[in-house]
Amino acid sequence: MTTLLVLGNINQFTFANSVIAANAKAEEIFGQGLTNIFVVHSRDSYAKLKSNEDWVSHTEENGVSRELFVDKIIEITSEDGSIKRFVDYIEFILKGIPNGSSLIVDITNGTSLQKNLLSIASYILDVRNQYTIDVSKLFELTEERGFLPTDILLSCYSPVPDSTRLDSIAYLNLSEMVRYRKIIESHTNRYVAIDPSSSDREFFKDNLGHSIQLKLQGDQSKDNAIYRIAASSISASVEDLIRLLVSKFVLTDTPDGVDRKTFGQKLKIIQAKIEKDAPSDFDVEFFSKFNDFILYLRNSSTHKGKLLTDLEKFKAELSVKMAFPFIEFYTDIVHPLLSSGELSREPKHMKKLTYADIAPEDALYYGLDGDDTGKILEELFLACSDESSFRKLSKDVANAISKISKFVSDKLGKNAIVFEAGDDLLFKGNLQEDTLLEMQAMYSQLTPGLTCSIGYGRSFQEVYLALKLAKTQPGKNAIVGIELC
């Protein structure tokens, strides 16, 4: 199977030319033409191509059937919600493509914003086959406009430069540094939030960045010694984080004594406090083993040995990489336990959330998820011999979720939708049970009699657990609300 992901266009000639070029390119590099075409439209491009379908006749004359097209309208803007819906849809497409299938992303069509976002999303999701019609080359070959011959289109259908190739010619792996820079900024903000007066933002941030630059230099030069230097450098930021936690929450009466203790001793001080008062649902065994592993990795990577073997290089590189999840674990999990009294708090209990417990002004989260969609797909794989059943199921489920999403937006406002992808919907508001039952009925009517379950609660954790419980009910198709107290 070969799939094309393409943006819509108000110009039917450009749109048809790009699809025909992609089909020819698929035959050239994959040995078969396109079998699926996902089109992301704006409302304008969908309406324009729908109003004049000369392009359909032209593409079919060139071996591309209209039945291959799956249309989706997503208004792409610079707003976070719009970008998220767009990326979620691309990820949904990628997840639905069987292993071993091929994918082409065309960025000939759309606005500059749409093209840029599609290209970036494709890079993040590791889609390498991105193509566009090279207009300059096209104008050199022909003065014709409108629908163009396949041979000319194919000769002008050029690959978009792969941004990861910059890493092979740039000294400091530019695209990877961009990613790390955002991660470092996020971790630095969390580190400073622990104690703004005692933290050293510039040292923590700059040292992490310098360590990553050293690591990337090691990647380029294959010099094992540089990895060891990078491991030693990054450990300074890690140790400063642990020093801050110990002096702020454990040795508050003798903060000056913290600096005289080793990294291992500081970890043991925090670990002892956590183990003594940890809530019952905290994984103490993992905490202990994680600390031991990081401590061993740090000591064996930074303390100099006589030989710089490939194993030592591997350990040093791993020490650099593991520093980031270690920092995240201590800022996001350990710090809240130390700072908010969670250590002495009893574990939460779960109870059913009834409508009598919900005030009219309460805002709840609702999760809707199709039942047994994966199982139905398995049955189709075993029983079907063509693609039509898969395509119909996909369209039916997508249509059902889209209609229910509109139904929710009409009742609660357009900002009520938090997440929409596949057979899942997450939204916020306050709805009565009869309205939720109406949504379940809509899902069944718009699909081949399929069912869906709904869970709700006041937090993401509660709605997640509620939806899981709803899925365990006999026959599913349930509505469950819970609260943690």
Judged by DSSP in three states, 136 sits in: helix
Going from the C-alpha of 430 to that of each of 38, 213, 313, 338, 363, the distances in angstroms are: 35, 50, 56, 35, 6
At residue 344, the pLDDT reads 46
Instruction: Kindly state the tokens that stand for 478.
Output: 């349930």
At residue 164, the pLDDT reads 54
How far is residue 442 CA from its own chain's centroid? Answer: 29
How far is residue 12 CA from its own chain's centroid? Answer: 33
| Cβ partners under 8 Å of residue 381, min gap 6 | none
E strand or H helix at 481: strand 479-484
DSSP-derived secondary structure letter, 420: E
E strand or H helix at 428: strand 424-429
| Alpha-carbon Rg for the chain in angstroms | 28
DSSP-derived secondary structure letter, 105: E
At residue 320, the pLDDT reads 87
Strands 424-429 and 364-370: antiparallel
| Cβ partners under 8 Å of residue 291, min gap 6 | 267, 271
Long-range contacts, stretch 76-80, CB < 8 angstroms, 24+ apart:
76/40, 76/42, 76/110, 76/111, 76/113, 76/114, 76/117, 77/113, 78/113
Instruction: Kindly state the tokens that stand for 249.
Output: 């929450």
Q: List the chain pLDDT tens, one digit each, 485 residues.
A: 899 999 999 999 999 999 999 999 999 999 999 999 999 999 999 999 999 989 999 999 999 999 999 999 988 887 878 888 888 888 888 777 777 678 899 999 988 888 888 887 777 666 778 999 998 888 889 888 899 999 999 999 999 876 555 545 444 455 566 667 888 888 999 999 999 988 999 999 999 988 888 887 777 777 777 877 888 888 889 999 999 998 888 876 665 567 778 889 999 999 988 888 777 778 889 999 999 999 998 888 765 555 567 787 888 888 888 999 999 999 998 998 888 654 544 556 788 888 888 888 888 999 999 888 877 877 777 776 677 888 888 899 999 999 999 999 999 998 899 988 888 999 999 999 999 999 999 999 999 889 999 999 998 889 999 998 998 888 888 999 999 87
Instruction: Kindly state the tokens that stand for 300.
Output: 């064996």
| Cβ partners under 8 Å of residue 199, min gap 6 | 191, 192, 244
CA–CA gap between residue 110 and residue 73 (Å, rounded): 13
Global confidence as pTM = 0.44
CA–CA gap between residue 104 and residue 438 (Å, rounded): 40
